[in-house]
Amino acid sequence: MSEKKHYHRGRRRSSSPAGSRGSSRDSSRERAARQVERRPEEDWENDWIDLEEDEDLRTPDQVKATGKRRAASGGKAAAGKKKGKTPGKGEKKNGRKGRMISNIILVVAVIVFCVSAFQLFYIISGYYEGRKEYDEVKDLAITEEESEDGENQFAVDFDTLMGINPDTVGWIRFDPEPAQINYPLVQTADNSTYLNKTFSASDNTVGAIFVNTYNNPDFNDRNTIIYGHRMNDSSMFHDLAKYEEQSFWEANPYFYIYTPDGREITYHIYAAGQVTETSDTYLTDFADDAAYQAFLDYTKEASAYDTGVEVTTQDTVVTLSTCTRASDEHRMVVVGVKESEKQIN
C-alpha cells in the first residue's frame, strides 16, 4: 500500500509508524518540516505540500511506476516527432507527383503563351504587309487630277496593274466613304485562289478583292458578285458593315468600278444587310425576266432598310459580299444597280 505524507497547518500527520524509512528519509522529513514551519502563517491555510513528488519521500514501487509513465510518454512524443520529421514513402511519392504536375502545367502555359504570341505577331505583321503592299499598288497605278470642269478625275493605269498581275479585271472604290475600299479587282477560275493571296501574289490572310469565277469579267451580267475579306484592321471589305445604318447609306449611296477598257461605272446602292451564304442573293443565272424580278424583290426584302431606289429587269447589279461577326454562315452584302457608265480614257 502506497504511503503519502501531508503537512497541514504546521502539524504532521502520518499513516505509517515512525522510523520506518531510515535515517536519510528522516532527515528529509525534518528538512520539509522546518521549511513548512518557516512559511508565513497565512500560507498554511490552503497550501498542502505533497511529498510524493520528492523521490526521496516515495516508495520504491511509486518511483518505478513514475519511471514507466515517463518512459511511455517520452516514447510516444519521440515517435510523433520522428513521424513528423521523416515522411513515409507514400507522402514522398505524393509530393513528387504534385511537383511533377505543377511543372507540366507551367511548361504547357509557357508553350501556349509562346504560340499565342507568335500567332498575334503573324496576324499583325500580315496586316502591316498587306496595307503596305496595296498602298504601293495605289501609288503605282492611281492618279487623281482635276478635270477641265473642276471635278476630281480618278484614273487607273491598267497597263501597270496587268504587269503586276495579269488576273486584273478592274478597280473598285467608294467616294467619299468608305474611302478605305479602294482596290484592284482580280478574277481566276477558282474562287479560293485569292482568299489568302494578295494582288501581288504574296501569301497573306488579307487576300484580294476578287470577282466571282462564274461571272463575265466585263460587269455586264445581271448579277456580278465581288468578294472580299472583312479584316480587323478595317481594311479590304471591312467597312461594308457600315451600310447596316441607313444614315451611312444616305451620306454615301454610290460606289464606282473602273475597267481596263476605260469605262467608269457608277452604282447606286439599293439594298444592304445580312444574309446567309446560301441565300438567293448569290444567284447569277436567271431563266427569264420573272426569275430575275424575283431575285431583285428578294434582295430588297433582305435589306436592313428601304432605300427607295428603283430597280427593273432591264438593269444590271453588282453584289459586294464579305463575312460578318454574326457567324460563319452569315454574310454582309451591299447591292448596287448600275446607274451610269462613261468612257474616261
Task: Read off the C-alpha cell for 271.
Answer: 439594298
DSSP one-letter string for 223-244: EEEEE--B-TTS-BTGGGGGGG
Residue 239 has what pLDDT?
97
28 or 296, which is more confident: 296
Beta bridge partners of 170: 185
Q: Is the pLDDT of residue 74 over 70?
A: no
The residue-averaged pLDDT of 208-219 equals 98
Nearest-CA neighbor of 228 among 130, 317, 149, 137?
130
Q: Does residue 319 or residue 2 have the better pLDDT?
A: 319
The reported pLDDT for the residue numbered 108 is 84
Q: How far apart are CA 229 and CA 269, in angstroms?
A: 20
- Which pLDDT belongs to residue 123? 58
Domains of the chain: 6-81 (no CATH), 121-343 (2.40.260.10)
pLDDT higher than 80, residue 192: yes
Prediction pTM value: 0.67
Mean pLDDT throughout 173-202? 95
Nearest to 204 by CA among 115, 127, 119, 116: 127
Q: Each residue of 131-178: pLDDT tens digit?
A: 899 999 999 999 998 777 777 889 999 999 999 999 999 999 999 999
Q: Rounded mean pLDDT of the chain? A: 81
What pLDDT is recorded for position 152?
80
pLDDT for 98 = 77
The per-residue pLDDT for range 243-280, each reduced to its tens digit, is 999 999 999 999 999 999 999 999 999 999 999 999 99
| Cα–Cα distance for residue pair 185/189, rounded to 1 Å | 14
Helix, strand, or coil (residue 343): strand
The pLDDT score that the predictor gives to residue 4 is 41
pLDDT at 221 over 90: yes
Q: What is the pLDDT at residue 101?
A: 84
Which pLDDT value is given to residue 29? 57
> Alpha helices, DSSP H only, in the chain?
23-38, 41-44, 60-85, 89-141, 158-164, 246-251, 289-301
How far is Cα 214 from Cα 284, in angstroms, rounded to an integer? 8
pLDDT at residue 271, rounded to an integer: 98
* pLDDT band per the 50, 70, 90 thresholds, residue 92: low
Q: What nine digits make up the cell of 305?
A: 432598310
6-8 and 11-13 as β-strands: parallel, antiparallel, unpaired? antiparallel
DSSP summary character for residue 306:
-
Q: Band of the pLDDT at 128, cuts 50, 70, 90? A: confident
Report the pLDDT value the prediction gives residue 53, as an integer from 0 to 100.
Answer: 45
Sequential DSSP letters for 251-280 = H--EEEEE-TTSEEEEEEEEEEEEEETTSG
Distance in angstroms (rounded) separating the CA atoms of residues 229 and 122? 17
Mean pLDDT for 319-342 is: 95
Band of pLDDT at residue 303, cut at 50, 70 and 90: very high
CA angle 232/233/237 to nearest 5° reads 75
300 touches 306 (CB < 8 A):
yes
Q: Which of 324, 234, 216, 232 is nearest to 272 (CA)?
A: 324
CA pair distance 336, 225, nearest whole angstrom: 11
Cα–Cα nearest to 233, from 183, 195, 180, 178: 180
Are the beta carbons of 7 and 43 closer than 8 angstroms?
no
pLDDT at 107: 82
Distance CA 299, CA 308 (A): 13
CB 33 within 8 A of CB 12: yes
Question: Residue 86: pLDDT band by 50, 70, 90 thresholds?
Answer: low
Short-list 260, 271, 259, CA closest to 320: 271
How far is residue 183's CA from residue 210's CA, in Å, rounded to a whole number?
A: 10
The reported pLDDT for the residue numbered 28 is 54
Q: Please, are residues 299 and 271 in contact by the beta-carbon 8 Å criterion?
A: yes
Percent of the chain residues topping a pLDDT of 70: 70
CA atoms within 13 A on the CB side of 220: 4
Segment 59-72, tens digit of pLDDT: 556 555 555 555 55
- Which helix (H) or strand (E) segment holds residue 46: the answer is none
